[in-house]
């Protein structure tokens, strides 16, 4: 069983499950508010500048929401491990846009997550790391990792690849490839 993420009008693999606070009108699939932001957080986000600082604040606040639901989340994850059918968790934001579904996938689903459906991604086998299989990265992350390797710095991404954190890594690596870590996301 693999859990994918996508947006409502994107490609769906297996059963589609809404994780937005409110699913679209005429939604025929399941709705799982367990992974949805709170109404207050969603309202705050819509009124914010929706810039990097707002994304960081949203991520911190949504982490608190997920922490408060941890027992229910753990039960859901255990149940899904027994489910043979793939599912796709859906929200409104298009692939690559900032969205809470990436945080759910990276921080909660981890080993169950098969990635964002429809993302233009390349295969890259890690030189170092805890995995022994090819991992899929967005093209920008792949090019940054390859840039580090070309300069003699064998790096690995210690987060599940989704494209969610690439903006911070991109800014940091372009400043200095020799830095020892990139906000905890890319390790040199």
Percent of the chain topping pLDDT 90:
45
Residue 123: pLDDT band with limits 50, 70, 90: very low
- Predicted confidence (pLDDT) per residue in 139-160, tens digit: 666 677 777 777 776 665 544 4
The continuous run of DSSP H or E covering 171 comes out as: helix 166-175
Say which residue the tokens 């799982």 belong to. Answer: 32
Task: Indicate the pTM of the whole model.
Answer: 0.65
Range 52-58 contact pairs with CB under 8 angstroms and sequence separation of 24 or more? 52/167, 52/168, 55/98, 58/98, 58/100
State the Cα–Cα distance between residues 132 and 111, nearest whole angstrom. Answer: 13
- Predicted confidence (pLDDT) per residue in 18-74, tens digit: 999 999 999 999 999 999 999 999 999 999 999 999 999 999 999 999 999 999 999
Establish how many alpha carbons lie within 13 A of residue 126's alpha carbon, considering only the half-sphere containing its beta carbon.
19
- Predicted confidence (pLDDT) per residue in 160-185, tens digit: 444 444 434 443 444 433 333 343 44
State the Cα–Cα distance between residues 167 and 154, nearest whole angstrom. Answer: 20
For the chain, the domains span 3-116, 122-187
């Amino acid at each position: 069983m693999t859990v994918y993420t996508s947006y409502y009008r994107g490609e769906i693999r297996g059963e589609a499950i809404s994780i937005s606070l409110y699913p679209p009108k005429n939604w025929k699939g399941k709705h799982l508010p367990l992974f949805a932001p709170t109404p207050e957080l969603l309202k705050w986000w819509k009124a914010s500048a929706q810039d990097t600082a707002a994304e960081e604040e949203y991520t911190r606040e949504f982490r608190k929401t997920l922490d408060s639901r941890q027992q229910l989340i753990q039960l859901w994850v255990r149940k899904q491990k027994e489910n043979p059918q793939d599912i796709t968790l859906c929200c409104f934001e298009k692939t690559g846009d900032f969205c809470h579904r990436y945080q759910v996938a990276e921080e909660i689903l981890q080993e169950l997550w098969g990635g964002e459906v429809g993302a233009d991604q390349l295969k890259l086998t890690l030189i170092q790391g805890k995995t022994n299989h090819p991992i899929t990265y967005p093209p920008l992350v792949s090019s940054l990792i390859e840039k580090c390797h070309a300069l003699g710095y064998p790096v690995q991404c210690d987060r599940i690849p989704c494209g969610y954190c690439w903006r911070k890594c991109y800014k940091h690596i372009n400043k200095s490839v020799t830095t020892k870590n990139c906000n905890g996301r890319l390790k040199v």
